[in-house]
Amino acid sequence: MTETNDGGCQCGRIRYRVRGAPNNTTTCHCTQCRMAAGAAFVTWSEFPAEMVTFTGERPQFYRSSDTAERGFCPSCGTTLTFCYLDGADIDISTATLDNPGVFPPEDHLWVDSKVSWVNINDGLPQYPRMRGSD
Ligand SMILES: [Zn+2]
Ligand SMILES: [Zn+2]
């Protein structure tokens, strides 16, 4: 049986379930993630879209660029998802899982945009922008 993990927003109105392991988990330091979450960086776990199910109400979506939208709870504002409009995957904000420890990040993206007082010392690969950039 495939492992499942549940998560949701701060007020509990939005709940979701993910099946299986993510394609990847990454910590993103880009400006858009920073603004969306009101936090210095956001860790995302990317799943094939069909592995993510909203078990109650659906999030509200904000079109954060021409190519992507971000899901959040309209009641409490928790940042929940990121996905490209033409993509087959959906990123879940790892910290909104009931047990965020199950999916540790594997690398850091957009380190060029990192907040100056964030010190990365976990030994994971760092990329200036997208994965594989140098
Ligand atoms: Zn909420
Ligand atoms: Zn980002």
Are 101 and 20 in contact, with CB atoms under 8 Å apart? no
User: In sequence order, which residues have a C-beta less than 8 Å from that of residue 117 and are 6 or more positions away?
Assistant: none
Starting from the CA of residue 71, give the closest ligand: 1
83: nearest Cα among 106, 60, 67: 67
Quick: pLDDT tens for 4-55: 999 999 999 999 999 999 999 999 999 999 999 999 999 999 999 999 999 9
Starting from the CA of residue 70, give the closest ligand: 2
- Number of CB atoms found within 10 A of residue 75's CB: 14
Starting from the CA of residue 40, give the closest ligand: 2
> For residues 80 and 97, what is the distance between their CA atoms, to the nearest angstrom?
10
Are 89 and 47 in contact, with CB atoms under 8 Å apart? yes
Distance 22 CA to ligand 1 centre (A): 23
Q: For each of the domains in the chain, give its residue range(s) and CATH number, in order of start.
A: 4-113 (2.170.150.70)
Distance 131 CA to ligand 1 centre (A): 31
pLDDT at residue 1 above 90? no
